[in-house]
Structure 1
């Protein structure tokens, strides 16, 4: 294969794709089979806002959302249950795969779904002139919307 940089061509970069390093980091977290507490501290730049919190596995995020019990909307509950089921299939497939067992087609499909979202617990959204409060919340965002990130959480001084 020819190297476009050495042959006078230009490298093709798709800026709509998420950061591969962050994607790998999140994908590895999603493959964990035990809950994490605390999660891995991260700070993200998302459309000019700073979002900081603890990275947790997708399945754990859905499990914690399902335990909130503050959503009475039937559509929300049904959707959350469906997505949690898919997450549970992938979670079970990881456990089975790691012990040398065979996964079902549904588990394999759920396991092979590309990582497209990042899941934070105790998340805080920081914006100029906006105080996000003392507590954090569960936050889910598209990896493709993250334009920058750093390990650790960032504390802003409120004016």
Structure 2
């Protein structure tokens, strides 16, 4: 029984990081620049700017990296979800009522972290760069505010 409890504790994301990300997700104005953050994920260092979930979806929907129907449909869906959550946050902050769907979008548990201008460091290669990165909070084994410091 004790080993089951320990295994479950490790499956949960760091509560401090979860609170940090949840507070970012509740912002109603776009964040520029985002908050520098470095994460350890499955042995890799992932570093970038923390931004709200709705802003990440909005920025993904604006990417023009792909021109196929699937990508266009996914981008439109992401933009719709982004707008739903963002509108709910603005309504909530101004004291207005939100629909049940908007309420669900705002109060859903924080399970993902969203970074912009991300660098992924691997021990065996040069850092890779991606504009937008989304990862599960439960996969983060360590983190620190700020960007990595060069050892030079």
Report the TM-score, using the length of structure 1 for normalisation. Answer: 0.84
Q: Which residue of 2 aligns with 1:29?
A: 24
Greater helix content: 2
1:49-72 Cα shifts (integer Å, max 9, x gaps):
000011011111111112221122
Residue 130 of structure 1 deviates from its aligned partner by: 1.3
- Rounded to whole Å, the distance in 2 between the matches of 1:49 and 1:10 is 27
Count the aligned residue pairs. Answer: 149
Residue 12 of structure 1 deviates from its aligned partner by: 3.7
Larger of the two Rg values belongs to structure = 1
Residue 129 of structure 1 deviates from its aligned partner by: 2.1
2:72 to 77, 90, 102: 77
SS of the residue corresponding to residue 132 of structure 1 reads strand
Q: Which residue of 2 aligns with 1:65?
A: 60
- Rounded to whole Å, the distance in 1 between the matches of 2:35 and 2:123 is 25
Instruction: State whether structure 2 residue 80 is matched by structure 1 residue 92.
Output: no
Greater strand content: 2
Q: Which residue of 2 aligns with 1:110?
A: 105
Residue 23 of structure 1 deviates from its aligned partner by: 0.7
Contact 1:29 1:57 (8 Å CA) reproduced: yes
The worse-fitting range, judged by mean Cα deviation, of 85-94 and 9-18 is: 9-18
- Rounded to whole Å, the distance in 2 between the matches of 1:25 and 1:138 is 19
Q: Which runs of 5+ in 2 are unaligned?
A: none
Instruction: State whether structure 2 residue 152 is matched by structure 1 residue 152.
Output: no
Q: Which runs of 5+ in 1 are unaligned?
A: 1-8
Q: Which residue of 1 aligns with 2:120?
A: 125
Report the TM-score, using the length of structure 2 for normalisation. Answer: 0.88
